[in-house]
Amino acid sequence: MGSHPINLLIRFLLEIAALFSIGMWGWEQSEGWIRYVLALGIPAIFAVVWGIFAVPGDPSRSDKAPIVTAGPVRLAIELGFFGLATWSLHDLGLTEASLAFGIIVVLHYAVSYDRIKWLVSR
């Protein structure tokens, strides 16, 4: 179910890139000390949400669910997270990077169609 090692590596790299993109966006939103808060705080909040809201039995998530979440809710969290990262790159003026990132996310989810079906049915 979407847990081929290469697909899991791509997913992990997408997660890291998304956190970095959101952090870059936060950095550009202010000056002074607040930019550090935004650049580190916004990605930290997303990392916590990403890590604790899970569907029990999801093999792409180490099979642990600190806060048990319905599959469609988890899918919405993931799509919102990657969507925000794509938008943040676009908002930073990195249109080509935004497009490339969005395409890779869509391809990743297309390859993970079995996981998507599984999440929707949970």
The arithmetic mean of pLDDT across residues 104-118, rounded, is 93
- When pLDDT is cut at 50, 70 and 90, the band that residue 63 belongs to is low
pTM confidence score? 0.89
Residues listed for the chain: 122
- C-alpha to C-alpha distance for 97 and 77, rounded to whole angstroms: 22
Number of domains in the chain: 1
Q: What is the mean pLDDT of the chain?
A: 92
Give the pLDDT score at 87.
98
Give the pLDDT score at 35.
95
Give the pLDDT score at 3.
67
Domain that holds residue 111: 5-120
- C-alpha to C-alpha distance for 15 and 82, rounded to whole angstroms: 8
Give the pLDDT score at 65.
73
